[in-house]
Amino acid sequence: MTPPLSYLEFHALFILPPIFLLGWLAHRRSGAWWGRRPLSGLGIILVLAVVYTTPWDNLLIDVGVWWYGDGAVVETIWHAPVEEYLFFVLQPILTALFLFLFPTGEDLSLRIPSSHRFVGAVGGLGLGAVGWFLLGSSSTFYMGAILLWAGPILAIQWAFGLTYLWRVRRRVALAILVPSVYLWIVDRIAIGMGIWVISEEYTTGYTLFGLPIEEATFFLVTNIFVVQGIVLYMWLLDRASDVPALAGALERTPVAFDAR
């Protein structure tokens, strides 16, 4: 069946408009994050998102976890359509721009307790271990793939700054949940239109208002990556004086201290 919208038209209708709106608001709003520091953090996140997500995404498409409607995509590179790679870039931009409207900031040293770092690392790796276990059944394969893929990133982020993330948890939660809910809604619309189809074989069958729970988990996890990554990056720049070698390196990098 040919869907009423192509994947590219989906981006144009549902993803680009909020990006333009949020970008305009962040640029105009006093006190919002803007300039080289937060934008350089976003740039780092974009590179990591494309590099880390590409092999995982292509593998799941090849397995048959999801596929696309007839005529929904323009071109395919490897197993994924061009529009999918575009999503790897557009989603972090959308989420980051929303985060920029509600900047976080707490005076907390980078020298957090080792026990906190241990708990953070174990938490992330434990989540990955659960994912590995879930790969053993076809019905939990997609969920297992998400958790196994997410675990190492969360372990790194939590080991580095779990204490700080907990200190700013309310704004972090807001910046994660609002874009996630929006993406859940538009993902459900896209599935309903047949732009992409989620396999029943590799999912549990549980849904959130018609959205497969695996899809909801994917968008939640990826937004956690984006928000935590940028928040921790900004904290690192703000507290660079805690690490003399890092402070010296950043002083020689205009990007680190220019703008707000």
* 234 inside domain: yes
Per-residue pLDDT, averaged over 72-86, amounts to: 96
Rg of the chain in Å (alpha carbons): 19
SS (HEC) of 167-231: HCHHHHHHHHHHHHHHHHHHHHHHHHHCCEEECCCCCCCCEECCEEHHHHHHHHHHHHHHHHHHH
Rounded distance, CA 107 to CA 55, Å? 38
In a domain, 132, yes or no: yes
Is the pLDDT at 137 greater than 90, yes or no?
A: yes
How many domains does the structure of the chain reveal?
Answer: 1
Place of tokens 């937004």: 223
Residue 1 lies in a domain: no
* Residue 254 binned pLDDT confidence (cut-offs 50, 70, 90): low
Q: Report the alpha-carbon distance of residue 95 to residue 183 in Å, rounded.
A: 10
Share of residues in the chain with pLDDT > 90 (%): 85
Is 2 a member of any domain? Answer: no
DSSP assigned state of 67: E
Tell me, yes or no, whether 211 lies in a domain. yes
Percent helix, strand and coil across the chain, each rounded to 5?
70, 5, 25
Is 91 part of a structural domain of the chain?
yes
- Identify the CA nearest to 186 among candidates 1, 49, 19: 19
- The pLDDT tens digits of the residues spanning 93-136 come to 999 999 999 988 888 989 899 999 999 999 999 999 999 999 99
Q: What is the pTM of this model?
A: 0.92
Write the pLDDT tens digit of every residue in 24-69: 999 998 889 999 999 999 999 999 999 999 999 999 999 999 999 9
**Alpha carbon distance 182, 61 (integer Å):** 24
Distance, in Å, from the CA atom of 27 to the CA atom of 66, rounded to the nearest integer, reads 37
Torsion sign (Cα): 162, 166, 168, 170 = positive
135 lies in some domain: yes
Per cent of the chain over pLDDT 70 is 92
Paired strand residues for 68? 196
Per residue in 165-213, pLDDT tens?
999 999 999 999 999 999 999 999 999 999 999 999 999 999 999 999 9
Domain region containing 182: 7-257
User: At residue 3, what is the residue type?
Assistant: P
144, part of any domain: yes
Rounded CA separation 252/235 (Å): 18
Asked if residue 253 has pLDDT above 60, the reply is: no
